Amino acid sequence: MLKNQFQSEQVRVGIIGLGYVGLPLVTVFAEAGYRVLGFDVSGTVCDGINKGLSHIKDIPTPRLTPLVQQGMAEATTDFERLAECTAISICVPTPLNKIKDPDLSYVVAATEAIAPRLRSGQLIILESTTYPGTTRDLMLPILEKTGMKVGADFFLCFSPERVDPGNERWHTKNTPKVLGGITSACKDAGMALYEKVFDRIVPVENTEAAELVKVYENTFRMINIALANELSMVCDKLGISVWEVIDAAATKPFGFMKFTPGPGLGGHCIPLDPHYLSWKMRNLSFKTRMIELASEINAEMPEYTVNKVALALNEHSLSLKGSRILILGIAYKKDIDDLRESPALDIIRILQERGAEVLYHDPYCPVIADDGHTEIPHLPLYTTPMTDELLNQCHAVVVVTDHSGLDYRGIASKARVMVDTRGVIRSITNGHDGTASE
């Protein structure tokens, strides 16, 4: 019965939040034959989608346009229309506040928007990353205040988003979809909806297990990146190439997974998600020691990178103060336009605070604007065209994000000093651990 209910062509799916997670969900649900209604507080975002225009790089406009023209996808700022939806996915931000505690105000607001429009048979799925217990302890009481009972009158699930921006192999549809329900009936309802959309569903016992899956995935990555970053510091002290060590270790066909060092963590997931679990466990009087230590190591990397630049300049009798530094790449990962939590922003801030003049080149990010949150002293900054003249004018070049398509060999041959935090020029370096100079 649930399968018939949630796979019917008459089902309308609502998606709250039309960003990096929400818009891809709108697209795959519409392509699977569901009529989709997207909700967002931004009228600009909704107007663009209703014109068939995508604001998300992973969803090209030519893919979205026919879905809008066929009436399969629509966007609105009118949350009264939640009542039209048989199933609703919540894809809103879950940031951390200044003391790294979870800010679930967007989840609460979305749930409170649903509650007065909740009707019998509706399925609600939270996709936003959070700590174990959020769906049951935070959302469920708000929804049950209506007098309806979960598992009988409505269904409530958690399914973590696993979006990897810029990944051409793994995307929303073919990445296995983890799903947990408050009750078994909730999980069955979620399975019925998802089976028509995603290539593989991975059911787990309950919402807490599903919530922990996502946090564990990104905690695993964060801790292993911290180990690679610490190895980079060790190799610096020993005068060994960290890239050579890691590449050689990666030849082991079992028991090893390759992680590489970098200038710090970026994006909305890896720098933030482990702190949801850390916060939850502090409330249970349990200290997540590996998370705390790994976070400390990763947080030191922007400062460590700037110190490497200063040392490299010093070898040429130059001080950081007054030097012109060119940053290559400011997005948090290669070949995307996302600046969220990018370590480049911290590196630029520290360089400016130490008196350096900072320029940057990034084909994906044309401007760093003053949005009220960025702590860089001198904004806005605009990308600078890559030219020989630019390289001649700069005292040092720092590879922060290794975008494809740049002639790193040519850049390295012209740069006075080059600090490579990503290992892109290791085959042509004169020094060790990614530092090259004339």
- Token pair listed for 121: 């048979």
**CA 293 – CA 276 distance, rounded (Å):** 15
Alpha-helical segments (H) within 284-407: 289-299, 301-314, 343-353, 388-393
- Token pair listed for 2: 């649930």
140 in helix, strand or coil? helix
φ, ψ of residue 330 in degrees (nearest 5):
-125, -10
The verdict on whether 85 is a catalytic residue reads no
Residue 50 identity: N
Contact 360, 330 (CB under 8 A): yes
Alpha-helical segments (H) within 206-360: 207-238, 242-249, 273-282, 289-299, 301-314, 343-353
- Please tell me what DSSP assigns to residue 371: -
User: What is the maximum span of the chain, computed from C-alpha positions, in angstroms?
Assistant: 76
341-367 in b/e form (b: 16+ CB < 10 A) is bbbbbbbbbbbbebebbbbbbbbbbee
Q: Write down the catalytic residue from 85, 269, 365, 394.
A: 269
Nearest to 85 by CA among 26, 36, 143: 36
Residues catalogued as catalytic: 269
